[in-house]
Amino acid sequence: MVARAAQGRGYASEAARSLVTVLRQAGWTVTAHIHPRHHASQRVARAAGLVPTAASHGGETRWVSPPPAAP
């Protein structure tokens, strides 16, 4: 959640990118469940490198970090 006055400035995307980077470097797979009509959250997830899947839970789409590229 970002304060209304700070929305649209990229703070959430920057924070999500940083968090996903740290978690992936530690070997974690990052997952998010986002409502299909919550476009701001989708933009943040996409900016963090997550991709939507065909899976859903409770009406929300599952987004995941793609597997690391092979060496």
* Domain boundaries defined on the chain: 4-64
CA distances from 60 to 10, 20, 49 (A): 23, 20, 18
CATH code given to domain 4-64: 3.40.630.30
pLDDT single digits (tens) 10-24 = 788 999 999 999 999
pLDDT single digits (tens) 36-70 = 999 999 999 999 999 999 999 999 999 999 876 66
φ and ψ at residue 31, rounded to 5 degrees: -130, 140
pLDDT at res. 12: 86
